[in-house]
Structure formats: structure tokens, C-alpha cells
Amino acid sequence: MALQILWFVLWGVLWGVYFMLDGFDFGAVMLRNFLAHDEIDRRVALTSIGPVWDGNEVWLITAGGATFAAFPVTYASMFSFLYLAMLLILFSLIVRGVAVEYRGKSEALRWRSMWDWAMAIASLSASFLFGLAFGNIFRGLAFDASGYHGTFGGLWNGYGILTGLLFVVVFLQHGALWLAVKSEGDLAARAHRLAGRLWFVLLAIAALFLVASAFASKLIGNYLAHPVLLAVPLLAVCALLVERLLIGRPGAAGASAAASGPAGRSASSEASGRKANGRLLWAFFASCATILLVVATGLVGLYPNLIPSTLDPAANITIFNSSSGAYTLRVMTVVACIFVPIVIVYQLLVYRFFRGRVSRVEVAEETEGY
């Protein structure tokens, strides 16, 4: 039982980390066509995620692998009940990866514009469909002992659509903060302003999601039974509020990082710029925490279910009736203790190595780009 609970926690952490990391990739790609005013801006935005986007997807593979190995019944049920949604997510991720790699294969404007929009639409599709899938898991799926009785169209209920919109807006705001941190000059200022505006949209949709969850799902049950668990959604709210405080006045950080270089700035303005940039970086970290805590809020509400049934509570797929045997879970725990820290250290080193802002001047000087 302890191993099953441990792997439920790890399962949630893996999904949370995936959404936290790939979320800003999705958001940055969805926004770049609107925030970028020229080809250099578009290349700056894509270069900002270039060294990390495919590494971020490792966490999706890890989350899927952990589901398969720790909870094989859940894995089989998810990819059966949500087959078409999962297939569309897979196609969206394939299109995004192909677009990132193929965009720079030609200098033709139409060629690059085609892949730019393919990238943005695929990111939007994947973001929304992830939310749609998890929203329906939170709500419950139409199955019983005799099998699944739902349809793909049935997933498009009000709560599922609202959760899909929540994922899209969360990722857009996350991506805007990433671009504000990683770019410079006007692009950073525009991203900063948009992040501030999107925060209010996110607050409204998050509030609607919490209210809808009380009526359209059974997530509230665990919180009513164990009030101490309310600390999780309260922390999510606090992280969101802290994010707003750290975003501050839109435009300050972007203006301080102007492409004119350090020669055009006084010592005082440079110090002010570093302070504003530091606040934006912490705002991005607060956004990361918000995503992790929102995922935790949903999973704590689900426990011990992994896929609840709307037809027969006795048919609920739980961490206890869908898990692998104790031996498998013990072996997986040892493997996770060895390899997950290695992946974390490797990714931290990558982020540290590419921690600087992407310079318009350097991108403009490159003979080949994305």
C-alpha cells in the first residue's frame, strides 16, 4: 500500500513537471506569431526554447512510462477510453517537432510562415486536448464493469472544455513570462505586458474552474473529508497572487534589456534593469509553482482514484486495483531513485548553460536559424 501511494505521488509529480516545462514551450510558440514583429523576433522566440524543448518532452515519456509500469490497468484504460484524444495529442506533438526542425530548411517566406502556423496550431491543439482529457478524468468517464460507454463527442462537455481553456491560458501566460525573461528589447517588453494582462484572464478562468469542480466533479470530496488538504489549493492561489506581485509594472524589464547594449545605459538604469529582470525570473518560478500546485490540487481531489466512473462507483479505477505487483513497484522505485536525479541534474545544467537572454544582434548575425 505504501508503494502504491508513493507511485501515485510520483505519477502526479511527473505529470506536473511535464506541464511546467513543456507548458512554456507551448505558450511561447503559440504567442510568437503575435508578439514578433519581424523575422528576427520570431527567430529569437524560437531560439529561446531551442536548446530545451525536446528535453522537456522527456518528462512526458517518463510520465507515460510510469503510468504503464506502475498502473498498467490505468494506462490501458486511458489509452482506450481517451484513444482519439490521445491520438490527436500525439499528432499535435509530432507536427510541432517537425515544424521546429523544418522551419529553417528554406528561406522562402511562405515556407517559414506555413511551419510557424503549424507550430502554433499544434501547440494550441495539444494544450487544449491535454486539458480536455484531464478535465474528463477529474469529472469521471462513462464506464462500468461491462466496459466503456462514452464517445469522443461526449468529452466535449462544459467542464472538459473549461479545463482545456484553463490549460491553454496557463500555458500562454507561462510562455509570455518565459519570453519576457529570455528575450530583450521590444519583444521582452511586449511579452511582459501580455503576461500581466493574461494573468487576469487566468484568474477568472481558474476561479470558474474551482467553482465548476465543486458541481461537475467529485474532487471536493477529499477536501471536505480532510480539511487539512485545503492547504494545496490555497498554496496554488498564493502562488498565483505572488506571480502577479512579481510581474509588477509591464515593460520595465523589457525596456531595461534593450538591444542597444550596455554602452547605452547608465549604471543606475543597468542596476534597475537587473532588479526588474530578477523579479520577472521569480515571477516565472511562481508560475512554475502555480502549475505544479494546480496539478496537485486535481490529483489530491482524485485520490485514491485514477479514473473515476460516472456510472458505477464500484468500477472506479484506483491506485489499489490498477497497480503492478509489489515486486515491480520496488524495482521501479530503485530505478527511479537512480535515474530521475540524473535527468534532473542534466536538465539543470542545460538550463544553467543557456540561462542568458537571446540577443537580437547575435540572431541577426547568424547565417542560418530556425
Cβ contact 191:358 at 8 Å: no
Cβ contact 194:256 at 8 Å: no
pTM exceeds cut of 0.85: yes
Beta strands in the chain (DSSP E): 143-144, 147-148, 305-307, 317-318
pLDDT at position 1, please?
83
Looking at the chain, the number of H-run helices and the number of E-run strands are 15, 4
Q: Is the peptide bond before 262 cis (omega within 30 degrees of 0)?
A: no
pLDDT at position 254, please?
46
Report pLDDT digits (tens) over 217-252. 989 988 998 899 999 999 999 999 999 999 987 644
Place of cell 484531464: 134
pLDDT at position 277, please?
76
Q: Cα-flanking dihedrals φ and ψ of residue 307, to 5°?
A: -135, 100
Dist. CA 209–CA 163, nearest whole Å:
7
Residue 78, C-alpha cell as written in the block: 486511458
Residues with pLDDT less than 50, the chain: 251-264, 269, 367, 369-370
Q: Classify 144 as helix, strand or coil.
A: strand
pLDDT at position 365, please?
75
Reference 177, options 203, 198, 205; nearest CA is 198
Report pLDDT digits (tens) over 262-301. 444 555 545 555 666 789 999 999 999 999 999 999 999 9
* String of DSSP letters for 258-289: -TT-GGGS-HHHHHHHHHHHHHHHHHHHHHHH
pLDDT at position 267, please?
58
Dist. CA 104–CA 121, nearest whole Å:
18
pLDDT at position 275, please?
64
